[in-house]
Amino acid sequence: MPQCEYVGPSGNQCPESVAEADTYCFWHDRDADKNGPEVKQQLEDKVKNQISLEGYELSHANLEDAWLIEADLSYANLSRANLKDGHLFGINLNGAQLFRTNLEHANLKEANLEDADLLGATLDDTDLERSSWGDNHVLRNHKEALTLQKHGDAEGAFAKYQESEDIYRKIRRRYEAVGLNDIAGHFFYGEMYSRRMQMPRFSSARFFSRLFDLLCGYGEVPSRIIASSLLYILFSALIYCFLGIQNGDQVYAFHPNASLMEDIKIFGYALYFSVVTFTTLGYGDISPIGFSRPFAALEAFNGIILNTLFMLTLIRKMTR
């Protein structure tokens, strides 16, 4: 008998035999009815015998309470399937289609969910502890949006960003519900990024969202605020070196005829003044002159914002 013609992304061909007139076996035939009660038992037997279920067409299948521990269901189509209360520990769902799949109360601990499409999936009380989502926890729909955007399909990218925002939010809430807030933070970032990409390109909302991302990663990366603050302090110090600051009657500013050591000394004074201005300490020993005054006022204002943002971000991370 001829062999099923299905060849998965892994390069392995399905070993099942098919009838002469058929191309695909029962499991890889999209049109074959998988609603029978025997389907679950047959799948469980295959898993026990360590048979790969790669690419299986299981749309609408009733697999409630199925024992599919460490099963290989990579690239399988489980759209609208019922996996409620499923025992899916360590299952490989890499690239699987899980559109509107019922995963309520399912055990997905240590599951591989990289590039799985979870649009509309039910995740109520789903156990996602130690599940793998791929590098940087970027969802499949997000990657598809980036590809469409790269090829100039703005409408398609917009739709995919809507999908990714919805999925990110669901997964984030699931992790938050069980106290895994560090992991939830990755999905919160993806949610906010996806939301930003749906905003009008040159809108103020998108600008400030991007700025908030750069400064602190939407509150998830406090180190960005520290780096931004240090760069701002150094940049302001250079401005003061050119515009000038004073200590009593002594003016400190770069001069073409000054030596390298004198310029280093002037930069030291400017850096000191920049730090006390940014932190709003204001000792009063050194003050701005001329055009450096508005820059000093602006630095103090931005310093208050960045210092407050850092404290809020740090508190957010610590309370998690």
pLDDT digits (tens, 9 = 90+) for 262-272: 889 999 999 99
Could you give phi then psi for residue 123, rounded to 5 degrees?
-120, 25
Q: Which residues pair with 107 in a beta bridge?
A: 87, 127
How much is the pTM? 0.84
- Is residue 249 predicted with pLDDT exceeding 90? no
Average pLDDT of the segment spanning 288-292: 91
Confidence of residue 320 (pLDDT cuts 50, 70, 90): low
Question: Which amino acid type is present at position 45?
Answer: D
Average pLDDT of the segment spanning 261-286: 90
Q: Which residues pair with 102 in a beta bridge?
A: 82, 122
**Is residue 61 within 8 Å of residue 39, measured between CB atoms?**
yes
Confidence of residue 10 (pLDDT cuts 50, 70, 90): confident
- Residue 68 is predicted with a pLDDT of 97
Average pLDDT of the segment spanning 227-232: 94
- Is residue 317 predicted with pLDDT exceeding 80? no
pLDDT tens for residues 55-82? 999 999 999 999 999 999 999 999 999 9
Integer Rg of the chain from CA: 29
Average pLDDT of the segment spanning 151-171: 97
Question: Which amino acid type is present at position 130?
Answer: R
Confidence of residue 313 (pLDDT cuts 50, 70, 90): confident
- Residue 35 is predicted with a pLDDT of 86
pLDDT tens for residues 100-122? 999 999 999 999 999 999 999 99
Give residue 36's Cα distance to chain centre: 39
**Is residue 82 within 8 Å of residue 64, measured between CB atoms?**
yes
d(CA 36, CA 81): 12
Average pLDDT, the chain: 93
- Residue 319 is predicted with a pLDDT of 67
Average pLDDT of the segment spanning 167-185: 94
Average pLDDT of the segment spanning 280-292: 86
- Residue 21 is predicted with a pLDDT of 80
- Is residue 206 predicted with pLDDT exceeding 70? yes
- Is residue 171 predicted with pLDDT exceeding 80? yes
- CATH topology for the 222-319 domain: Helix Hairpins (1.10.287)
| Three-class SS of the chain | CCECCCECCCCCECCCECCCCCCCCCCCCCCCCCCCCHHHHHHHHHHHCCCCCCCCECCCCECCCCECCCCECCCCECCCCECCCCECCCCECCCCECCCCECCCCECCCCECCCCECCCCECCCCECCCCECCHHHCCHHHHHHHHHHHCCCHHHHHHHHHHHHHHHHHHHHHHHHCCCHHHHHHHHHHHHHHHHCCCCCCCHHHHHHHHHHHHHCCCCCHHHHHHHHHHHHHHHHHHHHHHCEEECCEEECCCCCCCHHHHHHHHHHHHHHHHHHHCCCCCCCCEECCCHHHHHHHHHHHHHHHHHHHHHHHHHHHHC
- Residue 252 is predicted with a pLDDT of 87
CATH 1.10.287.70 range(s) for the chain read 222-319
**Is residue 45 within 8 Å of residue 65, measured between CB atoms?**
no
Q: Which residues pair with 122 in a beta bridge?
A: 102
Pairing of strands 250-252, 245-247: antiparallel
- Is residue 282 predicted with pLDDT exceeding 80? no
Q: State the first-to-last Cα distance of the chain, in angstroms, to the nearest integer.
A: 59
- Residue 37 is predicted with a pLDDT of 86
- Other beta carbons within 10 angstroms of residue 234's beta carbon come to 13
- Other beta carbons within 10 angstroms of residue 196's beta carbon come to 20
d(CA 70, CA 117): 19
Confidence of residue 316 (pLDDT cuts 50, 70, 90): confident
Stronger pLDDT, 10 or 4, i.e. the higher one: 4
